Structure 1
Amino acid sequence: MTKRRMAIATIALLIANFMGGLDATIVNTALPAITSDLNGIRLIGWISSIFLLGTAVTTVLWGRVGEIIGKKLTFQISLMLFVISSVVGGMSTNMIMLIVARAFMGIGAGGMVSIPFIIYADIYPNPSERARALGWVTASYTLSTVVGPLIGGWLVDALSWHWVFFINLPIGIISLLMLQLTYQENRTETIDKSFDYLGSGMLILTLIVLLFASDSIASSMTRAVILLIVGLILMVIFYRIEASKKNPLVPTELLRNWRIQSQNVIMFLINGFFIGYSVYAPMWSQGLLGTNATYGGLTQIGGSVLLLLGTRFTARLMPKISYKRIVIIGSISIFISALAMIMATQYSPYWWLLISGAFEGFGMGLSFTPMQVSLQDGVRKELISVSTTFGLLFRTLGQTFMSAIFGAILSISTASQVGGKITSRMINKLTDASSAKTLPQDLLPQLRTILFNSLHTIMLIGFVLVVVAIIINLTRKEPEKQLR
């Protein structure tokens, strides 16, 4: 490929990545309008959770499909599934129709966000050049999270909530055509093109059970423990199935490779803290400091900018020092962020959140790229696809599992502290700047103390996740770079 075609193909993939990032923030902005129009407050949680579930359970499957029919075609199919489902979502007349559309959007997103990382390994065989490309991936995603609420708010106000889904149609078509005209895939024949249906089904079932176990913590600890045990048993069965297959979905050679899997565990843990800060720092700002929603959202800006700088800095560091050392530096930055949050008091100033977010973003920017490159360069060429998608699966699961667990902790913690004049409904109102104004002023100090205790518990757990990630990183050995 010429440099010009490489650049256009990369832009095509970045546009799809931008669309995937845009979806999360733009849909969240439209949720109040959707709830009002479709009378769906009881099912509103499913709009996000079913999307995440579809993405998580299909990430690895798309990688295997890519090996069989080709990366380019697989990406295009997943992109079209996402776009068509978006149109159906925009045309929804009830919550069930919208939820089903979101499920298929999640399935499409599983391939739309994972296959490009495999294509980057093909387009950019040089690790430093690939690191720069991954930096642009982070930049496009960061940009989407910043402009998403602005675009979503404008679409809802000027047109209707339906257009937060319809907007994906022109963006998707542009990405599809640009990639079709520029990227020529170097196909290598796969010896066995059979698909591991049994292993795929078992992986999907295992993840669904474990995700429901996380979600059940708030409602029934007994059910959560039972589902966790069932999930672990299914995990063992999945491993045995894969060990018996000639061409498995996830080769046990990869599963037994601790040098590779240790990085996946690290990504799971630091992404767990990442989602904790991303979701609850705005709530901290509004509920405890009394800021408006705009200032709550601005707690993410510093982290987004430093995330971008971290990824750009990583590209320069990778040729000079070991990947493991870069991840250590990134982990220390995330550690400082987590430490700041557990040291914060109920009366800590707003800028304290911004400083914590900056360290969190910079650390994530430093950590992700070298581990993603190492997951590709540290395995045989035949395993690049599955190693890439399996790593992205852990990243998604870290956010999905911990999002559910943190939500359960918040619910349990606040419920255990309310009583007398204080109700759970008051705590819910406190977390939103507009509704907090309607609360009795004499109860605000007590309400904020309850919310602080709950948020502090979440940040403490996030801190533990980061500490465990640092310990694993310090004790692990780097994967050996494989000859291509």
Structure 2
Amino acid sequence: MKRKLAMATIALLIANFMGGLDATIVNTALPVIISDLNGIRLVGWVSSVFLLGTAITTVLWGRIGETIGNKRAFQISTFLFIGSSVIAGLSNSMVMLIVARAVMGIGTGGMVSIPFIIYADIYPNAAQRARALGWVTASYTLSTVRGPIIGGWLVDQFTWHWIFFINLPIGIISMLLLQWAYQDTKRQRERQAFDYAGAAVLALALILLLFAGDALAVSVLRAVLLLLAGIILLAAFWHVEGRATNPLIPHQLITAWPVQAQNLIMFLINGFFIGYSVYAPMWAQGILGTNATFGGLTQIAGSLMLLIGTRLTAHLMTKLGYKTIVLVGTTSLLISALAMVIATKNAPYWWLLISGAFEGFGMGLSFTPMQVSIQDGVEKELVSVSTTFGLLFRTLGETFLASIFGAVLSLSTTRQVATAGHGITTNMINHLSDSATAKGLDPALLPQLRTILFNGIHTIMIIGLVLIIIAFLINIRRREPKPAAR
């Protein structure tokens, strides 16, 4: 029994590793892909459609798992991921690649969310589940650190196509291990109809809201209109769910503030997390003038402290209240955000590392107790949807804020360049953010260019600080969900 439990956990960790690997390995190969497929105009869609597919299907997979079984849902989603990975590897045009990435995102929505439901099933004890979730975080962190190295090696030794082909053997191993080691818990209940109307309205609402953030850099009016349309559809979704016999997200879950407060906290702290992850390397290269390797190393301290935080959480959860642990975690995140806000343009490289260490430690302490709580704080029949709903908030936090941060940097740069003079252009800022192309810039203009980039990134860090302050205050005011009877 213990052996099968270990094998089932390993199978799910392999899938988690594969999902995290994809998050970084594709970015490493994008310059080569753009060159090979002449895809500079459509490059943004390679990541956008993947995140979009993941976001709009996360909750859907939870309900699909309830209908056909979590093991089968996991295997179908993994098959979609590895099948579309092969198509992506065979792509001979950007359109073909983008379509494949959209399907990969749909598969990822189930491949990374269904395991959390299975963990709740095979680890009913909260402390044991916390240890398992610590391994989940560790495997994901390891994959994101290894991703650029593996991606660079595959591109250099073979071709960019192999960054997608590598998913095939990994995915097959995960599916076969789970097939042998895990059996779905049989539920003695009547099968109910799937909420197609609710799924369609929610998917459309999320699509509009995600595009609203992306449109901010192009047209504020367009962004506002998309935002309003998305909000109207969310209101329609509430109405549809109230009349559904088997709602996608029941009203009783949405209105359970002790649970949803934690989802809101995860939305906010993951927004800051993506801001640091994307712009700390850019700060190192564009403002401090380091090379790409040192830019990537800004994430190492955070990754190591994330591992320490998650491993420590499993022990703390047997001694402290979950809310107290999250308070320590959000305090650590607050220190990280403050460090980035008070940093000047001449702040040393090690300052970024210290900020990253506090950021990683805070994320490690915050995620696990909230993930366990949103499962244990609801009735058994709501565990699946509560789990995937929480993961949806994490994904949306990263996706929304990534779009908003990109728009903020674009608007800030455009405004400053317009008044800079000396022949400075936005294209120079683009070159400045990459150490390889920054070498071709006029040395006399570097101080002013770095000031422009610093002002934009600094604004992003201020927004990140506001997000963490709000999360910190919500955690102080919220009530801890009471464990539901099982």
Do both share a fold (TM > 0.5)?
Answer: yes
- Partner of 2:206: helix, strand, or coil? helix
> What residue number does 2:470 align with?
468
**By how many angstroms is 1:192 displaced?**
3.8
Q: TM (normalized to structure 1)?
A: 0.99
> What residue number does 1:359 align with?
358
Tell whether 2:48 aligns with 1:49: yes
Q: 1:50·1:103 contact (CA, 8 Å) conserved in 2?
A: yes
> What residue number does 2:12 align with?
13
> What residue number does 2:459 align with?
457
- Partner of 1:300: helix, strand, or coil? helix
The amino acid that maps onto 1:437 is K
> What residue number does 1:259 align with?
258
**By how many angstroms is 1:63 displaced?**
0.2
Mapped to 2, the partners of 1:189 and 1:248 lie a distance apart of 19
The amino acid that maps onto 1:332 is T
**By how many angstroms is 1:291 displaced?**
0.1
Superposed CA deviations along residues 284-313 of structure 1, whole A, max 9, x for unmatched, are 000000000000000000000100110000
The amino acid that maps onto 2:129 is R
Tell whether 2:439 aligns with 1:437: yes
**By how many angstroms is 1:190 displaced?**
3.8
Mapped to 2, the partners of 1:399 and 1:106 lie a distance apart of 15
The amino acid that maps onto 1:389 is T
> What residue number does 1:303 align with?
302
Superposed CA deviations along residues 388-447 of structure 1, whole A, max 9, x for unmatched, are 000000000000000000000000000000042110000000000010000000000000
The amino acid that maps onto 2:472 is I
**By how many angstroms is 1:187 displaced?**
1.6
In the TM superposition, 1:71-470 aligns within 5 A as 71-419=70-418, 420=421, 421-470=423-472
Q: 1:67·1:190 contact (CA, 8 Å) conserved in 2?
A: no
The amino acid that maps onto 1:328 is L
- Partner of 1:299: helix, strand, or coil? helix
Q: How many residues align?
A: 483
- Partner of 2:136: helix, strand, or coil? helix
What is the root-mean-square deviation of aligned Cα atoms in Å?
Answer: 0.6
The amino acid that maps onto 1:210 is L
**By how many angstroms is 1:31 displaced?**
0.3
Superposed CA deviations along residues 1-45 of structure 1, whole A, max 9, x for unmatched, are x11100011000000000000001111111011001000000001
Mapped to 1, the partners of 2:43 and 2:53 lie a distance apart of 16
- Partner of 1:291: helix, strand, or coil? coil
- Partner of 2:194: helix, strand, or coil? coil
Mapped to 2, the partners of 1:434 and 1:36 lie a distance apart of 16
Superposed CA deviations along residues 63-95 of structure 1, whole A, max 9, x for unmatched, are 000000000000000000000000000000100
Mapped to 1, the partners of 2:204 and 2:94 lie a distance apart of 25
- TM superposition outliers: structure 1 runs of 4+ over 3 Å: none
Mapped to 1, the partners of 2:317 and 2:261 lie a distance apart of 19
The amino acid that maps onto 1:467 is I
Mapped to 1, the partners of 2:328 and 2:154 lie a distance apart of 41
- Partner of 1:234: helix, strand, or coil? helix
**By how many angstroms is 1:189 displaced?**
3.5
**By how many angstroms is 1:326 displaced?**
0.3
Mapped to 2, the partners of 1:222 and 1:148 lie a distance apart of 38
Q: 1:346·1:452 contact (CA, 8 Å) conserved in 2?
A: yes
The amino acid that maps onto 1:76 is Q
Mapped to 2, the partners of 1:222 and 1:149 lie a distance apart of 38
The amino acid that maps onto 1:96 is V
**By how many angstroms is 1:360 displaced?**
0.2
**By how many angstroms is 1:191 displaced?**
2.5
- Partner of 1:219: helix, strand, or coil? coil
Mapped to 2, the partners of 1:73 and 1:193 lie a distance apart of 17
- Partner of 1:191: helix, strand, or coil? coil
Mapped to 2, the partners of 1:151 and 1:228 lie a distance apart of 39
**By how many angstroms is 1:457 displaced?**
0.2
Mapped to 2, the partners of 1:409 and 1:124 lie a distance apart of 43
Superposed CA deviations along residues 106-137 of structure 1, whole A, max 9, x for unmatched, are 00000000000000000100000000000000
The amino acid that maps onto 2:359 is E
Any gaps of 5 or more consecutive residues in structure 1?
Answer: none
Mapped to 1, the partners of 2:295 and 2:325 lie a distance apart of 31
**By how many angstroms is 1:215 displaced?**
0.6
Mapped to 1, the partners of 2:378 and 2:191 lie a distance apart of 19
Mapped to 1, the partners of 2:147 and 2:221 lie a distance apart of 39
**By how many angstroms is 1:483 displaced?**
1.5
- Partner of 1:199: helix, strand, or coil? helix
The amino acid that maps onto 1:102 is R
- Partner of 1:418: helix, strand, or coil? helix
Tell whether 2:22 aligns with 1:23: yes
Q: 1:68·1:190 contact (CA, 8 Å) conserved in 2?
A: no
Mapped to 2, the partners of 1:233 and 1:5 lie a distance apart of 47
- Partner of 1:481: helix, strand, or coil? coil
**By how many angstroms is 1:246 displaced?**
1.5
Mapped to 1, the partners of 2:189 and 2:300 lie a distance apart of 45
Q: 1:79·1:108 contact (CA, 8 Å) conserved in 2?
A: yes
**By how many angstroms is 1:193 displaced?**
2.2
